[in-house]
Every structure is written in C-alpha cells, then in structure tokens.
Amino acid sequence: MKRIFQRAFTLFVAILFCSVSAIAASTTTPAATTATTPASAPTAATIEAASSTAPVAEVPVPTPDVAAPTVDKTPTIIPTAPQLDSAGYVLMDANTGMILAHKNMHQQMQPASLTKLMTLYLTFQALKNNQIHLTDNVRVSEKAWKTGGSRMFIKEGSLVSVQDLIDGIIVASGNDACTALAQYVGGNQSTFVTMMDATAQQLGMKNTHYVDATG
C-alpha cells in the first residue's frame, strides 16, 4: 500500500513540473521578442517616397549689375584717307551705307570689266524672274563670236548654256559671253544697254552711263 502511494505522489510531482514549464514558456514578454528581431532594410519604394516629399531649394538666377553696352554703328572718328595714285575710288561701310572715303566719286570714268557686274546682275534678275533658265541654250551670233578682248572662245552658231556663259564671264572675263547673254536677255545688245542704264538709276548710280555689255 505504501509503495503504491509513493508512485502516485511521484507521478503527481512530474505532471506538476511539466505544467509549470509550459506556462512559463507561453508567458514570454513582447519586449524580449522585439529585441531579438533584426531590423529590415529600407526598400526602394520607401526611399522614393521620402525623396518626393523632401523640399527642393530654389537656386537664385544671377542678374548682371550693368546692362550690356550698345554698339554705335556711326563712327565718331574717321581717319584721314590715304593718298592713292588711283584716278578714283569709293570706300563705303556696307552695314550703314556711310561713305568713309572717296576720290572723284562723281566723275565719269571708264569702268572696263567692272561693266560685267551689271551684265551679270541683269542676267541674275532674269533668272530670278524665270524669264530665262540656267539650262537654256543660247545660239552664238556672229557679233558675239567676233567680240575682241578677253574671251571664252565660243564658236559662231554653236549652242552654249546660260550657265556656261555665266561661268565664262566670271572665270575668263569673256567679252563674247557677255555679248551672247546681252542679246539673249535683252533681245539685242542695244536694248540690253538701255536696261543697264535704267537699272543703274534705280540703284542710285546717277552719273553712270553704259555703252555696251562688256566694258
């Protein structure tokens, strides 16, 4: 009987010990659990959200203390023109049209091949107005073929394009090319010279008079 009681008491103590251990494990404090949990790293979404709400500092735009100076196109001092041996000249400011220096500016002189500039000017005006075209072929007349002086050597009766005649004037200073173009643009050289004089008056060349298309 005594032995049965001892076994029952021992079993009771064992059950009681297990119950106390289970209760102690289930009553662990949240603070302890939190302390042992590692902190998680910030995500990209978290960083982007934080940066979008951060205030942006405004950078001031620098302003000049002094305004930029304006350039006076009219010269205040014009130096004395040099003494040249040429019979005449004109020096003009292309931006303002102001005559800076001149010698015998209004005296009529033979312009020689400078005449070809007006011949080319009227040719380009005709091209601009679609009266003629660069690909047009011009038949060379006997008068154009016989023109003396500097030439591009076009042959009588041959067909030469307007483009080639222009090149012959610019490169070779061809008098024959000038005559051929004058006859083609004006119908004849006399009418073309009248056109040259009229254009000179329109351009302000009041004292200019042409007698041919070559100079």
- CATH number of the domain enclosing 131: 3.40.710.10
Both structure tokens of 53? 């709400």
- Rounded Cα–Cα distance for residues 199 and 192 (Å): 11
Nearest residue to 214 (alpha-carbon basis) of 166, 175, 162: 175
Q: Is residue 192 part of a domain?
A: yes
Quote the pLDDT of residue 74: 63
- Residue 154: exposure state from Cβ atoms within 10 A (0-12, 13-18, ≥19): buried
Q: Active-site positions? A: 113, 116, 173
Q: What stretches of the chain show up as alpha helix (H) in DSSP? A: 2-26, 30-36, 44-53, 115-128, 142-146, 162-172, 175-186, 189-202
Q: Which residue has the tokens 């400078």?
A: 114
Q: Is residue 82 part of a domain?
A: no
Q: Is residue 159 part of a domain?
A: yes
Domain count, the chain: 1
- Residue 82: exposure state from Cβ atoms within 10 A (0-12, 13-18, ≥19): exposed
**146-204 pLDDT, tens digit each:** 999 999 999 999 999 999 999 999 999 999 999 999 999 999 999 999 999 999 999 99
How many beta carbons lie within 10 A of that of residue 166, not counting itself? Answer: 19
CA-to-CA separations, 17 to 9, 20, 25, 27, 127, in angstroms, rounded: 13, 5, 13, 16, 120
Provide the domain limits for residue 120: 112-202
Length of the chain: 215
**93-135 pLDDT, tens digit each:** 888 888 889 999 889 999 999 999 999 999 999 999 999 999 9
Q: Is residue 14 part of a domain?
A: no
* CA-based torsion, 131, 137, 141, 146: positive or negative: positive
Q: Is residue 34 part of a domain?
A: no
pTM for the whole structure: 0.61
Quote the pLDDT of residue 83: 86
- Helix, strand counts (H, E) of the chain: 8, 4
pLDDT reading at 31 higher than 50: no
Q: Is residue 186 part of a domain?
A: yes
Q: Is 42 helix (H, G, I), strand (E, B) or coil?
A: coil
Q: Is residue 85 part of a domain?
A: no
Q: What are phi and psi of 161, to 5 degrees?
A: -70, 155
- Rounded Cα–Cα distance for residues 181 and 187 (Å): 9
Nearest residue to 175 (alpha-carbon basis) of 139, 154, 148: 148
